[in-house]
Structure 1
Amino acid sequence: MIHRCAAAALIRGGQVLLGLRAPDRAFYPGVWDVFGGHLESGESAEAALMRELREELDIDIDDPRPLATLPLPGGEGDCRLFLVTRWRGEVRNLQPAEHQRIAWFAPEELPGLPLADPAYLPWLLPLLAPRYDPDASRRSFASAPPTLEEKHHD
């Protein structure tokens, strides 16, 4: 069976929100993970992300920006990753059976955390850089950084 997932890096104040997955979870037990979940039949990645973040964190997101697509272990599907910097509502853990704890992390704390996927670091760290341009995420994730001319014309 092919699994399709959508997940978000929720960024605020130079920190990212992660959830510590409960130790009894079938997938990625006892590690820190981004928030999101599986797409339902006929659902877009953006719609799934909005639904999952409402169910898990009690927030309504605005303007999720695509970042990357990561393969799931064993070639069983993929996960679309998004940047989310704006939302309505106060973040709170509505699913403690799934994430036993949620917390905000600064970039220097991430390398020491047990993460659900080590591939998170290369795409999370630049998002937390002090001069990160959130509009750059609309360009290809693998593209070169914008030139000064591009920044002035965006």
Structure 2
Amino acid sequence: NGRGIPVGIVPSEGKPAVEVVLTVLHAGGKFGGGGYAVSGGLHGVGVSVVNALSSKVSVEVKTDGYRWTQDYKTGAPTAPLARNEATEETGTTVTFWADPDVFETTEYSFETLARRFQEMAFLNKGLSISLTDERAAHVDEEGKPLSVKYHYEGGIVDFVTYLNSR
């Protein structure tokens, strides 16, 4: 996991940075050190658009020594950012439920998502991405939910190795 989306108050917005990232277009990557060196997103609009088009979004951030949580409904926070138990872990988990009133289908292909997340992990050296399919009918041969985790310390070098092994 990365450092976690910052949770401090953005003075110009009067809101925690994580809330700004999830609710304001073009806000991603602006916090702490001038932005990201590499991004798999769409110029800061990705997660805010996902939030706006979802019936529910839950974000969990582990940073600054704590686990922080906040839920959203159709793009708006349902409660203030909550500081939870202490932790030494870092990272961000975003879970979303696409709004069926917006999309004609909310059924996702595990294989398509897994492939895209693997590409993102190759492009962002050291990033860990986990995907678990919690739908009842989507299990492996042992009856466990389909799950993958990608992490490539070598980034593009690992991608070339992967391609050469196929």
TM-score, normalised via structure 1 length: 0.31
Tell me: higher relative CO, structure 1 or 2? Use CA pairs within 8 A at least 6 residues apart: 1
CA radius of gyration, larger in:
2
In terms of fraction of residues, the more helix-rich structure is 1
**Between Structure 1 and Structure 2, which shows a larger proportion of strand residues?**
1
The TM-score normalised by the length of structure 2 is: 0.30
